Structure 1
Amino acid sequence: MENQQKPSPCSRERAFLLSIFSSQSLPGTPYLDSGYSWVRLCVSVLISLVGSAGMWAVVVVLPAVQEEFGIDRSEASIPYTTTMIGFALGNFVFGRLVDRFGIVLPMIVSALMLGAGFALGSLSGNVWIFAAVQGILIGSGSAVTFGPLIADLSHWFERNRGIAVAAAASGNYLAGTFWPLVLKEVMASDGWRDAYMLVAVVSVCVMIPVAFLLKKRIPAHVVDISSAPDALPVTKRRIDISPRALQILLCIAGISCCVAMSMPQVHIVAYCADLGFGVSAGAEMLSIMLAGGIVSRLLSGFLADRIGGVRTVLLGSFLQCLALFLYIPFNGLASLYIVSLVFGLSQGGIVPSYAIIVREYLPAKEAGERVGLVIMMTVVGMALGGWISGLIYDLTGSYQAAFINGIAWNMLNMGIMALLLWRTGERRTANA
């Protein structure tokens, strides 16, 4: 009887490393929920951490830009609004490109756009040039690291799709936790323009090399199998609403929840400055808020794998509404730190759960485009909410009415999720 040699640990490690750096999988290598899938998730989080800097940098520099250019609060909010518009359009456009060409080429384009955008932003002579650079280059470039990246990653998971999507989306909040702390230190010593130049260099030097670790593409037949009824767990969700109507409802829900979400996220730094607590305290609160959002996203992903995306969004929206109420009576320094943490723990899982809903109800082949469209609408909500909050502040001289406005929009999102839950049923799969 011939001795059969088992592969040595070194051989297995070599094969695993080869599978990471190769564009093709080895014969017999699993695709879904595999070791490579988790490596790909880690790489995606790193890319999102770096590539999402533009969304938060513009919030941190808002008071400095307002002071340097001599403008009011609503005008100073325009660069954030253009950033969100660019981010919104980029999610949809690059989502379609990822469906067709894979993630690597769009990611390299993203890195180049971010490098150019931050460099040009640091040289801006007025708020309108700054706003244009934020929207066209930084906002659009950052988009690739969110919706399109999440949609691409979702194809590599089935059983753990919820937690994987949530973890990838947490890279955006990791950026919100990391970059404000770094940028406020650079701003304190060298100003906001040098802070922007730093982000330009980091974006190009990190994102381009790391993007090549994602060059492997999952075969089309695996995508088809992962969305077939007999490949799902015991039940598959259905809804008594047409795909087009469902897409429209998700877009409206995305806008409404993020108009509410934008008030604390966009204006917390300026709010703290107005209350006399300083920009540094506001940046710390933003970081705490987003750190709580990371925990919320991971817990929501774990929850979505068990109760579905619609229930997860409904729960998150309800908790976000309660947190917004807390901002109205509590405006002391210590209480704002606590409320910001509560808000982060409440709302972090809402946006990535929309991607789970898309994958539960809509065709997998169109995941990049459909997820990108919903994410685009959530960003439209952030842009609209950021501008409306600044306008309400200019009209009333206070942020109290802006919090109430956010609560009203939040109620609309909860109503849509309740409707989807009411029209949702379950059907047993063939292997149930």
Structure 2
Amino acid sequence: MHPDGAYAWFRLAIAILLSTLGGVGMWSVVVVLPAVQAEFGVDRAGASLPYTLAMIGFAVGNLVVGRWVDRAGIILPVIGSALSLSAGYALAAVAPSLLVFALIQGALIGFGTAATFGPLLADVSHWFQRRRGIAIACAASGNYIAGALWPTFIKWGLAAGDWRSTYLAIAVILLVTMVPLTLLLRTRRHAGPLVRPGEAGPSGGGHGPRDLGLSPAALQGLLVLAGLACCIAMSMPQVHIVAYCVDLGYGVAPGAEMLALMMMGGIVSRLVSGVIADRFGGLVALLVGSVGQGLALALYIPFDGLTSLYVVSLVFGLSQGGIVPSYAVIVREYLPAQEAGQRIGFVIMATIFGMAIGGWMSGFIYDLTGSYTAAFLNGAAWNLVNAAVVLSLLLRDRRTRRVAMG
């Protein structure tokens, strides 16, 4: 088998399906939150605890499961993910209290979802060479597709029954679909990927096909800083757009529609960023997304009319969607291939924590100032940090390549 061949694309199709199925863990608790809050009789802050723990589980899982993928390949981790998710939804459906429900969301559902994002991107990256960027982008889009499909199913389940029966249905669906799909990824030993876990990368060395003149630890640290900064910026519209629309007097519905518009734009952005990465490299793709996201954040400040907010939200979605997958491409370009799972997982963990910190930070700034203007400016400032880190790496890449060429 060859990289970028027919079997590689077959595996990518399976990866997209697995990402779409496993991605339910990112969205289900958001949709059932009002019903859970009403049943357990808690305030909105208390009802938000399950989402917070799910995101923590998702963040930690990307790193832990990524290390597992590096050692054992993708099969066992994704089967483990399917079992964890199925058990999590089944147990959550009979949870006697909000605390138990929240702990299950973090330990089983959030953690289980992780295998279908960062670790799956790492596995896909081993099967592609020329088209690695678009392949990673397609696999990452499964998470957004999940955000478009699963909420509709869950709303239907809530209308037909209640959140507990809906969670039980999800448990069954995940078990009967994810395990068979994962088994389709089994390969004979001689028909493995371009780079198997534990083997050297295509360059034959420890730093992948390109060298920035940085140690792997230093580059990893810079990517973590960039990931944290870009997602602190990214969280401002994604977390607060609905509240922002309410403050402006437009109501909840337009804000929800703008959020959906961001997600649809994000799918397009991920695919376009993959094409850019294949042509110009992951750093260029990341810088394009970062600059676009920064401009969109700045546009939110002067343009607060209803129509203009829809337009700016679309621009934001078309800019930010490709940012996170670009980190996976960069890791594969500059860091050891045999460590791709844990290194991609580490950067993605930083981006998730960035979303969590940024969402809180924007709310804190709003409480201090009474408006979102300063919060948008804060997001733009963090975006500048991201762009500065990426630009410095890109310039270093250009210098080292010129030196290498003599």
- The reply to whether TM is greater than 0.5 is yes
Residue in structure 1 matching 2:20, options 38, 46, 49: 49
CA distance in 1 between partners of 2:88 and 2:344 (Å):
25
CA offset digits 1:337-366 (Å, max 9, x no partner)? 333322211101111110111111111111
Q: Which stretch shows the higher mean deviation, 117-126 or 371-380?
A: 117-126
CA distance in 2 between partners of 1:124 and 1:399 (Å):
37
Q: Which stretch shows the higher mean deviation, 111-120 or 304-313?
A: 111-120
Q: What amino acid sits opposite 2:216 in the alignment?
A: P
Residue in structure 2 matching 1:177, options 148, 157, 163: 148
Q: What amino acid sits opposite 2:287 in the alignment?
A: L
CA distance in 2 between partners of 1:372 and 1:129 (Å):
27
Q: What amino acid sits opposite 1:262 in the alignment?
A: S
Identity %: 60
CA distance in 2 between partners of 1:229 and 1:430 (Å):
17
CA distance in 2 between partners of 1:58 and 1:276 (Å):
27
Q: Which stretch shows the higher mean deviation, 151-160 or 394-403?
A: 394-403
CA offset digits 1:172-204 (Å, max 9, x no partner)? 111122223333444456454444344333222
Over 3 Å counting, the alpha-carbon distance change for 1:352 and 1:265 in structure 2 is: same
Q: Which stretch shows the higher mean deviation, 271-280 or 304-313?
A: 271-280
The answer to whether residue 388 in structure 2 is matched with residue 415 in structure 1 is: yes
Match of 1:205 in 2: 176
TM-fit CA distance, 1:375: 1.3
Q: What amino acid sits opposite 1:153 in the alignment?
A: V
- Provide TM-score, normalisation by structure 1: 0.82
CA distance in 2 between partners of 1:59 and 1:278 (Å):
19
Kindly indicate whether the alpha-carbon contact (under 8 Å) linking 1:82 and 1:383 is maintained by their aligned counterparts in 2: no
- Provide TM-score, normalisation by structure 2: 0.87
Kindly indicate whether the alpha-carbon contact (under 8 Å) linking 2:62 and 2:119 is maintained by their aligned counterparts in 1: yes
Over 3 Å counting, the alpha-carbon distance change for 1:269 and 1:365 in structure 2 is: same
CA offset digits 1:85-110 (Å, max 9, x no partner)? 11111111111111111111111111
Q: What amino acid sits opposite 1:128 in the alignment?
A: L
CA distance in 2 between partners of 1:369 and 1:383 (Å):
21
Kindly indicate whether the alpha-carbon contact (under 8 Å) linking 1:51 and 1:145 is maintained by their aligned counterparts in 2: yes
Match of 2:115 in 1: 144
Q: Over aligned residue pairs, what C-alpha RMSD do you find?
A: 3.1
CA distance in 2 between partners of 1:274 and 1:191 (Å):
31
The answer to whether residue 310 in structure 2 is matched with residue 345 in structure 1 is: no
Bigger Rg, structure 1 or 2: 1
Over 3 Å counting, the alpha-carbon distance change for 1:175 and 1:274 in structure 2 is: farther
CA offset digits 1:107-132 (Å, max 9, x no partner)? 11111211222333344455433332
Kindly indicate whether the alpha-carbon contact (under 8 Å) linking 1:77 and 1:386 is maintained by their aligned counterparts in 2: no
Match of 1:242 in 2: 215
Over 3 Å counting, the alpha-carbon distance change for 1:188 and 1:168 in structure 2 is: same
TM-fit CA distance, 1:398: 4.9
DSSP 3-state at the match of 2:128: coil
Kindly indicate whether the alpha-carbon contact (under 8 Å) linking 2:29 and 2:51 is maintained by their aligned counterparts in 1: yes
Kindly indicate whether the alpha-carbon contact (under 8 Å) linking 1:177 and 1:288 is maintained by their aligned counterparts in 2: no
Match of 2:333 in 1: 360
Residue in structure 1 matching 2:80, options 86, 109, 120: 109
Residues 31-42 of structure 1 mapped to structure 2, 5 A cutoff: 31-42=2-13
The answer to whether residue 292 in structure 2 is matched with residue 319 in structure 1 is: yes
Kindly indicate whether the alpha-carbon contact (under 8 Å) linking 1:257 and 1:378 is maintained by their aligned counterparts in 2: yes
TM-fit CA distance, 1:318: 1.2
The answer to whether residue 104 in structure 2 is matched with residue 158 in structure 1 is: no
The answer to whether residue 76 in structure 2 is matched with residue 96 in structure 1 is: no
CA offset digits 1:266-287 (Å, max 9, x no partner)? 3445555666666655444333
Match of 2:202 in 1: 227
Q: What amino acid sits opposite 2:13 in the alignment?
A: C
Q: Which stretch shows the higher mean deviation, 208-217 or 352-361?
A: 208-217
Match of 2:378 in 1: 405
Match of 1:8 in 2: none
Q: Which stretch shows the higher mean deviation, 221-230 or 80-89?
A: 221-230
Kindly indicate whether the alpha-carbon contact (under 8 Å) linking 2:2 and 2:194 is maintained by their aligned counterparts in 1: no
| Structure 2 unpaired stretches of 5+ | none
DSSP 3-state at the match of 2:184: helix
CA offset digits 1:204-244 (Å, max 9, x no partner)? 222111111111265477555762279xxxx9532132211
CA distance in 2 between partners of 1:404 and 1:69 (Å):
38
DSSP 3-state at the match of 1:158: coil
Kindly indicate whether the alpha-carbon contact (under 8 Å) linking 2:250 and 2:306 is maintained by their aligned counterparts in 1: yes
Residue in structure 2 matching 1:290, options 263, 276, 279: 263
